[in-house]
Structure 1
Amino acid sequence: MKFRTAAVQYELADISSFEQFAEQVTHYVRNASEYGVQFVLFPEFFTTQLLSIGDETGKALPIERLPDFTTDYIQLFRSLAAEYDVYIIGGTHVLEIADGKLRNAAHLFHPDGKVDVQHKIHLTPVEVGDWNMSPGDGLEVFKTAYGTIAMLTCYDIEFPEIVRMARAKGADVIFCPSCTDDRHGFYRVRYCCHARAVENQVYIVTTGTVGSLRKVDFMRSNFGQAAIISPNDIPFPPAGILSEGIINDDMLVVADLDLALLEEVRAKGSVTTWRDRRTDLYPDWS
């Protein structure tokens, strides 16, 4: 099984209406479709751009108002997935759950209109302390026409156990939307993406926000780069990078993923990290 995926380095800038947001999103999906992709990945927290629309005084909306846009967000991405016949990982969007708690949720939009959701499992101090978010309490993998995928958001990728669980459930590709504000955070996520690809012999598709929301707290600075990452073995590029963007530029990257190559290296690669895990010495997180 082969398919083509794109990852968007989404440029954040203050806007004044949902229509502006929709125009920018549509531009990226249309651009990706011109390359014949089957999947498009957007970054974590890119819908915080909607907070810059502001209230009647011009002040940015608080994070608690972001769920107000959920219906329009879902309608936009469902229509784009259907129109362009692609799977879209719509980055993450903030949802409100019981008792006023918020969740940071990755969404998978299928071409047939189905929508899958994976709540972020590991939360950063800002998400907990400043944005009153609560963590997801389970991991799912998702069947598509091109195989099984998982969505693990930013900080999630820094925890080996959860990626091991995704692989044990059958995921061959991990989509990792991210949002980091400086080099330290960016490289934590990026290096962990490479480690998880090596450990589990999977593809990792990741991207982050770029640009700046001058009105929105915690989104005034972004440091991001998209990358499509493979295991480090002979069928793949030596650095395990199938494609990567230019840091902090407004752009998208594209690469082809061959799932048969994953099976090949799992069976008879230079190393067989998935097969050789020592479950007699440490737990099998499956």
Structure 2
Amino acid sequence: MKIRVSAVQYHLHTIQSFDEFARQCEHYLKTAEEFGAEFVLFPEFLTTQLMSIGDAEGRALNITDLPDFTDSYRELFSSFAKRFGVHIIGGTHVIRRGDKIYNVAHLFYPDGRIAEQAKLHITPAEVEGWNMGAGEGLQVFETEKGTIAVLTCYDIEFPEIVRMAKARGADVIFCPSCTDDRHGFYRVRYTSHARAIENQVYVVLTGTVGFLPTVDLMRANFGQAAIITPNDIPFPPGGILAEGVINDDMIVTADLDLDLLAEVREKGSVTTWRDRRTDLYPDWE
């Protein structure tokens, strides 16, 4: 079975209204539709662009204002998923639970269902700058095209959580990301390759590009989408099916062959998933 996926290098810039945000998102989805995508990935902190709309005095909104857009965001992307007939990983959106805010990835199904996965590992900047809370547990999601997981940015840097996702059946890890410099970008990029090799899974990665000059912690972005494979003979030697141009406003698309994953797990040059030593270390299920 094959899955066609598109990853959006979303261009952050100052906007004046929610409608402007909606039109930009629609543009990328129309492009993905032209490519025949079945899954579309948007980057982490996608909706921080809404903070640039500002208040009545023209000052940028605060991160604690973002949850006020939750209903509008969910309605918008749910309508997009149904209209275009695709699964949309709508980046992440900040929601409020009790007295804490959380960075939550949203999966929008074509039939109108909405699933959530909170970011599990929070960077020091997110704790110190935004007092962000950490999610409580991992989920995997069943789709008509197989089992997937959504792990956000810093999450991909932790081998245990990806091993857990694969142990629960995930063949594709979608990783919405947001990094502000080369160091952060390459941490996420290199560890995405490592997770694909260790678990013999696909990793679909993307990040924000552009900048929000009025929004703290979002003034700089360094991003690139990549569709990453295990490193074995059925796949490209560098483990890259497709990648974008760094920091350009664009979308990349490729087909994921799930049968190839099963093949290399059984009789690849290396069989890292089969050969793991669960007698020495667990799968953290």
TM range (shorter): over 0.9
What residue is the counterpart of 1:174 in the other structure?
173
Counterpart amino acid of 2:3? Answer: F
Give 1:130 shift. 1.4
CA distance in 1, matches of 2:89, 2:142: 13
- Does residue 186 (structure 1) correspond to residue 185 (structure 2)? The answer is yes
Give 1:97 shift. 0.3
1:221-265 per-position Cα deviation (integer Å, ceiling 9, x unaligned): 000000000000000000000000000000000000010000000
2:132 aligned counterpart, secondary structure: coil
What residue is the counterpart of 1:95 in the other structure?
95
CA distance in 1, matches of 2:278, 2:75: 44
Following TM superposition, the consecutive aligned residue runs of length 4 or more in structure 1 with deviations greater than 2 angstroms are none
Give 1:3 shift. 1.3
What residue is the counterpart of 2:227 in the other structure?
228
What residue is the counterpart of 2:263 in the other structure?
264
CA distance in 1, matches of 2:283, 2:194: 18
Counterpart amino acid of 2:42? Answer: F
What residue is the counterpart of 2:122 in the other structure?
123
Aligned pairs for 1:1-286 (under 5 A) are 1-98=1-98, 100-286=99-285
2:133 aligned counterpart, secondary structure: coil
Counterpart amino acid of 1:162? Answer: I
CA distance in 2, matches of 1:70, 1:283: 37
1:13-34 per-position Cα deviation (integer Å, ceiling 9, x unaligned): 0001000000000000011000
The TM-score normalised by the length of structure 1 is 0.99
Give 1:132 shift. 1.3
Larger mean Cα displacement after TM superposition, 155-164 or 124-133: 124-133
RMSD across aligned positions (CA): 0.5
Counterpart amino acid of 1:159? Answer: F
CA distance in 2, matches of 1:73, 1:30: 18
CA distance in 1, matches of 2:282, 2:165: 15
What is the aligned length? 285
Contact 2:160 2:283 in 1 (8 A): no
CA distance in 2, matches of 1:30, 1:75: 18
CA distance in 2, matches of 1:199, 1:243: 20
Give 1:285 shift. 1.8
Give 1:279 shift. 1.3
Contact 2:198 2:273 in 1 (8 A): yes
Give 1:283 shift. 2.3
Contact 2:179 2:223 in 1 (8 A): yes
Give 1:284 shift. 2.6
Structure 2 residues without counterparts, runs of 5 or longer: none
Contact 2:146 2:171 in 1 (8 A): yes
CA distance in 1, matches of 2:119, 2:207: 15
Larger mean Cα displacement after TM superposition, 128-137 or 247-256: 128-137
1:283 aligned counterpart, secondary structure: coil
Structure 1 residues without counterparts, runs of 5 or longer: none
CA distance in 1, matches of 2:105, 2:112: 16
1:15 aligned counterpart, secondary structure: coil
1:158-179 per-position Cα deviation (integer Å, ceiling 9, x unaligned): 0000000000000000000000
Counterpart amino acid of 2:177? Answer: S
